[in-house]
Amino acid sequence: MQRMAAGILDHVPPSLGKQNFSDVANNYAGPSSFKKSMQNLQLSLWNIADAHLHVPIRQKEVLPTGRQVDFHKDLDILLGEIVKTLK
């Protein structure tokens, strides 16, 4: 999950002409609905990854569920914008 978050947040911005994902989420010249989806994606990815990675190890760990890491709606919007931009 951390790798997925890093891959999206670090490698996607240049394809949209931005330096980092925060710039995509806050300063991309798109509709406010796109910005809201990207802000949600950015916060959700990091919060969920941090919740699983930045706690001391326990005797029993619970893996993140599919529901916790279900970002398909926001990712679909992001991928659509990348395809539109690169055409």
Query: What are the pLDDT digits (tens) for 18-52?
Result: 999 999 999 999 899 999 999 998 888 877 777 77
Number of domains in the chain: 1
Q: Has residue 12 got a pLDDT over 60?
A: yes
Which residue, among 51, 52, 48, 29, has the nearest Cα to 40 in the 3D structure? 48
Give the gyration radius of the chain's Cα atoms: 14
Domain range holding 42? Answer: 2-86
pTM across the whole model: 0.75
Nearby residues of 77 by Cβ (< 8 Å), 6 or more positions away: 34, 37, 38
